[in-house]
Amino acid sequence: MLKMQRWLFCGALSLAVLLPFCWPLALPSLQWQREALANGQYWRMLTAHLVHLDAHHLLLNLFGLLLICELLWDDLAIGYALTLLLASALGVSLLLWIYQPQLRWYAGLSGVLHGMWAGCAGAALLRKKNLFYLGALLFLAAKLVYESGLQTGNVAGNISGMPVVPVAHLYGALSGLVWLALRQLQQARRDFD
């Protein structure tokens, strides 16, 4: 049952990022824009993660989602997955707002995917004590360190001409770990009661 829920969730999220791609005005209307957020367009805190710069950007993110769903999502209930997704999206958006004042815009699912990577792998590691999940977290940490070494300003190079904002990956991973810590505290409280 949980495996079916996992794939329904991943399918629904894939559809949610594919639909805006079909609308020509999606990117300017939905991406994270500092000026628009300052003017009260708060929906962009969530919708920014659903829009992509081009088909290559979209396909890379969908491939990342597929890998997370197949390799790291180990019996995570759908409710937890939704809260992880929302925590990662809001975490990335808020941390970009607070700590990257020079950043004017952001779009894409990659920051959220890093949050899901950290949250799913961490939750599975705590439950199963499997070295595979520890390796996934160590690989994530190494990737983030590598990306921080490439970063100049807000952008670290590009992928096929697409700017990459690696700090969003870091903020996503941190958001996923905060989600995991809060989930563990909630579980410990339930066990204590």
* pLDDT one-digit tens code per residue, 113-157: 999 999 999 999 999 999 999 999 999 999 999 988 765 554 445
- 66 within 8 A of 10, measured Cβ to Cβ: yes
Residue 186 CA from chain centroid, whole number: 22
Helices then strands (H, E): number in the chain?
9, 4
Enumerate the domain spans of the chain.
2-192
- Model confidence at 15, pLDDT cuts 50, 70, 90, reads very high
The CATH superfamily label for domain 2-192 reads: Rhomboid-like (1.20.1540.10)
**Per-residue pLDDT, 112:** 98
- Model confidence at 48, pLDDT cuts 50, 70, 90, reads very high
- 89 within 8 A of 46, measured Cβ to Cβ: yes
Read off the pLDDT of residues 63-110 as tens digits, 9 standing for 90 and up. Answer: 999 999 999 988 888 999 999 999 999 999 999 999 999 999 999 999
Determine how many CB atoms are found less than 10 A away from the CB of residue 35.
Answer: 9
Q: What are phi and psi of 113, to 5 degrees?
A: -60, -35
- 173 within 8 A of 122, measured Cβ to Cβ: no
Distance CA 186, CA 168 (A): 27
- The model carries a pTM of 0.91
Distance CA 189, CA 169 (A): 30
Residues in a beta bridge with 106: 32
**Per-residue pLDDT, 159:** 56
Strands 158-159 and 32-33: unpaired
Strands 32-33 and 105-106: antiparallel
Q: Can you read off the two tokens belonging to residue 50?
A: 């659903």
- The position carrying tokens 């769903």 is 69
Within 13 Å and on the Cβ side, how many CA atoms surround 113?
Answer: 24
CA distances from 120 to 25, 59, 183 (A): 33, 21, 12
3-state class (DSSP) for residue 117? helix
Helices 110-128, 131-150: axis angle to 10 degrees equals 150
